[in-house]
Structure 1
Amino acid sequence: MRIGYIRSNIPVIIGQQQIEEVDQFTYLGSVIADDGNAEHDVKCRLGKASAVFQRLQPIWRSSTIALPIKIRLFNSIVIPTAVYACETWKMSAGIVRKLNVFQQRCLRRILRITYRDRMPNEEVHRRTLTHPLAETVAERRFRFAGHIFRLPPNRLPRTAIKWTPQQGKRKQGRPRTTWRKTFIDDLKAVDVAWDEAENIATDRARWRSLAAQCALRHRRN
């Protein structure tokens, strides 16, 4: 896989064997693409979560299982499948919409609600005691950043989170959204500067509180 805007036709050969070049591949359950886009991984995760949800249809349709138990099963089986490794996703409006639409579709099936009932999403969350899925992803991303900040300065993740290219020229057009840009937006949502965040991250309880505030701000936005 070649990463970057510049493409080359020079083959990679090890010994006498030419290595196959691919646009994306799956590693440890996550889909890695040559353009660094999280759309491919999100689509794959939601597809797997949908398959899990479908296999549990007898539970969702059962009239002898209480709603709180169904929601607990949904949150402990389906949701973890959907947001696996979501801490590394860079977010966009499209990804946020896909996550929330998937969650709403599942919850409405559990509640046996159709779109003809004209029930708002807020009422669905109130009945099921849940929050928008994109909010959960934002909170997990914020906590993940805290783990990186607490690493020793010589660790590669700590170096990578602050690295910015010093040379080269990007192509014309709007800059692509990156994970770092997404996290900077998270910090702005809670009115915390980058240098201040590194100091706050040493206090785990305070950092968890900030993560919850960040998720709440995302819900309001």
Structure 2
Amino acid sequence: MEDLTKEEVDIRIRAGWSYFGRNREIFLDKNMPLSLKKQVYDQCILPTMTYGCQTWSLTKIIGNKLKVAQRSMERKILGIKIKYKIPCKNIRQQTHIKDVVLFAERQKWNWAGHVARMSDNRWTKRATEWQPRIGRRSRGRQPLRWSDSIAKVKGRLWQRGW
């Protein structure tokens, strides 16, 4: 079974840019208050970009893709060109926009809590706990599974501790 997370993230980023483009008169208007731009971004674009993120295996590559798109949107909102070489921290201090990767991780943890508290006969819980009968995984570095990041923090029996 192949992991389509990268393709899904690309689709979500394109959807975020599409929404940004449809509302460019709000985001690119110099007279519009930054607080309104932030509110529209946090309520519309961030959920669009992270729709379905509860099921993603967030790797560094995927996280970087999301961060690059978010930073680019922030620069456009402030009217800052990349050639000015203003650090991302300074831009984030001005916009106070939620970090997309932290938002996605928080959503994933919320979903993991729901799954852990579900009754054992629910299909979602069974699919999460399912182990294929094939047995072995291939040699080399293993692809990141959905539950690996949760198990890294909470332990292998993470579903029993909620």
User: TM-score normalised to the size of structure 1?
Assistant: 0.67
Which position in structure 2 is the counterpart of 1:113? 80
Q: Does 1:37 align with 2:4?
A: yes
Unpaired stretches in structure 2, ≥5 consecutive residues: none
What one-letter code is carried by the residue in structure 2 that aligns with 1:97? N
Render the CA deviation track for 1:44-80: whole Å, top value 9, x for unaligned: 1111111111121111222331110011011111111
SS in 1 for 2:147: helix
Equivalenced residues, count: 162
Answer yes or no: is the 8 Å Cα contact 1:90–1:178 preserved in 2.
yes
**Which structure shows the higher helix fraction?**
2
Which position in structure 2 is the counterpart of 1:54? 21
Q: Does 1:163 align with 2:130?
A: yes
Q: 1:197 Cα shift?
A: 5.6
Q: Does 1:88 align with 2:52?
A: no
User: TM-score normalised to the size of structure 2?
Assistant: 0.90
Q: 1:195 Cα shift?
A: 3.8
Higher mean Cα deviation, 50-59 or 123-132? 123-132
Question: Using CA pairs below 8 Å that are at least 6 residues apart, which structure has the higher relative contact order?
Answer: 2
SS in 2 for 1:179: coil
Unpaired stretches in structure 1, ≥5 consecutive residues: 5-34, 202-221
**Which structure shows the higher strand fraction?**
1
Which position in structure 2 is the counterpart of 1:152? 119
Which structure: larger Rg?
Answer: 1
Q: 1:194 Cα shift?
A: 4.5
State percent identity of aligned pairs. Answer: 23
